[in-house]
Structures are given as structure tokens and as C-alpha cells.
Amino acid sequence: MSNRQAEIAAALNVIPKFADEAALVAEVERRKAFIKQTLRNAGLKVLVLGISGGVDSSTAGRLAQLAVEELREETGDSAYRFIAVRLPYGQQHDEDDAAAAMKFVKADEEVTVNIAEAVKGLDAELDAVSKLTDARRDFVRGNTKARMRMVAQYAIANANDGLVIGTDHAAEAVMGFFTKFGDGACDLTPLEGLVKGQVREIAKYLGAAEKLYLKVPTADLEELTPGKPDEDAHGVSYKEIDAFLQGETVRDEAYEIIVRTYDKTAHKRRQPYAPE
């Protein structure tokens, strides 16, 4: 492991590879306990999370549901609950996956908020966006979608005195692969420190269907390239990202891409700049 790998892994709280199933189970229990304690500390009883159909939100959602079920059993308080939110933009092209994810999560409550009209309405008010090229406008609108989804989740959480869950983990954090103040905004991140392969392992352990835990990851924010795989955007595979974070040797090109991207996206992982 290079010094830079070690530095980045430490900064992102990367979890070592699971030595065996017992280690995996212990990590699952630790993360459920974290979710429960976070709710207790906040003095609140409701959790909210957008479910996209990908493995990250599916895994975080199932952990949240299990956590509130345990809280209800431990306290006898039926007010503890988890709200899973579907947030399509018009018709989602992988709607079947999203439906499968909701079936796996088994949330106490399911809500659907179609963000299309809100996003289009905001676009119509912004001259700066209308003047962009099609490709640039598509990119900007993609970030608006992510932020609008978070606006909806926080509105639901506020209305129910709850907390919003985020799905960020180490393999996305190192690449800055989230929208600032969009899916990067949340109250708790139960997947923090895990690499992509570990998220898949946990999803499989929790009973997710193979189509969910092996699904090709996609942010699916840009209309000109629907379903574009994350790895195409990264220029490096999640397998290599995971290996880098866990101290293994990777291709020189992959190493350079990961370090360069980590440095370039540092602003996403820190608080806003302020005078010192």
C-alpha cells in the first residue's frame, strides 16, 4: 500500500475486507446499532430514504427497516418507522428494478414523488440554463434532479419529524461521485467506509435478489445517456476502486485516475470554505 492509498483510506474510514461471514454479520449489526443510536440521539422516530433501484439505496433501506423494527420491539413504541420514497423523473427506464428494490426493503411506508414537473418548472425560470448547449444543459439538469430529490426527502422528513438517510460509501466518496447538496446531503450515512463489493455482500446477506446486488451501478441523471454506468463516468472499475481503497496494487493508470479524481473532488467532502 502506498502512503497516498493509506492516507485516502484512513480519511474515508475504509473497512477492511470481511475475513469471513461472522465479520460481515458483525458489521451489519454495528451499522443497525448506529442507525438506532442516531435516532435515539436526535430524539426522533422516523427515517426517510429515496429508493432508486440500485444496490446502495436498497441496502441502506433494508438496514433502516430492520433497525426501526428492532427499536419497536425493544421499546414497545410503534411510532418508530421507515419511509421509503420513490423519486422518478417521469417514467424511470429501470422501473422494474426499483419495484424489486421496494419489495426487498419492505418499508413501513412507501411514498412516490415524481420530480419531473418541479425540475422542468425550475428550468423554465432559469435563463442561464436555457442558453447552454444540449449536453451541458443535460448535465446541469442532472444535478438539479439530484437536488430536487433531496428537497422532497427533507420535506417528507420535516413533515414527519424524521431524519434523511444518505447512501454514500467509500467507493463513491473517493471519486466524489455524488451531487453536492443533492444525494450528498443527509443526516446519517450508514454505508460510510464500505467499498462497493462490501455493499453487495451485505445486500446478498440480507436477502436481496441477484439482479439487485449485481446490478450495474448508474446515477441515471442525464437524459442524453440514460442508464450510463458509473464506471464509464469514472474511467475505472469499482473492482479497481475497491482494491485501491483496501491497499492492493492496481494498474498505474487506475491509481492515477483515482488519486487525481479524489483531489479534484475534495471540495465535495468538506464543509463550505470560510475565513480562517
Residues annotated as part of the active site: 56, 172
Q: Given the DSSP bridges, would you call strands 109-112 and 81-86 parallel, antiparallel or unpaired? A: parallel
| Helix H or strand E encompassing 206 | none
Q: Contact, 181 vs 110, CB < 8 A? A: no
Residues 6 or more apart from 276 whose CB is under 8 A from it? none
Nine-digit cell string for 54? 440500485
Phi, psi for residue 81 in degrees, rounded to 5: -160, 165
Nine-digit cell string for 33? 446499532
Q: Contact, 192 vs 59, CB < 8 A? A: no
Question: Could you please report the per-residue DSSP string of 19-76?
Answer: -SHHHHHHHHHHHHHHHHHHHHHHT--EEEEE--SSHHHHHHHHHHHHHHHHHHHHH-
Percentage helix, strand, coil for the chain under 3-state DSSP, each rounded to 5: 55, 10, 40
CA–CA–CA angle 134, 140, 141 (5° rounding)? 85
Q: Contact, 258 vs 239, CB < 8 A? A: no
Q: Contact, 154 vs 181, CB < 8 A? A: no
Nine-digit cell string for 12? 474515508
Phi, psi for residue 239 in degrees, rounded to 5: -60, -40
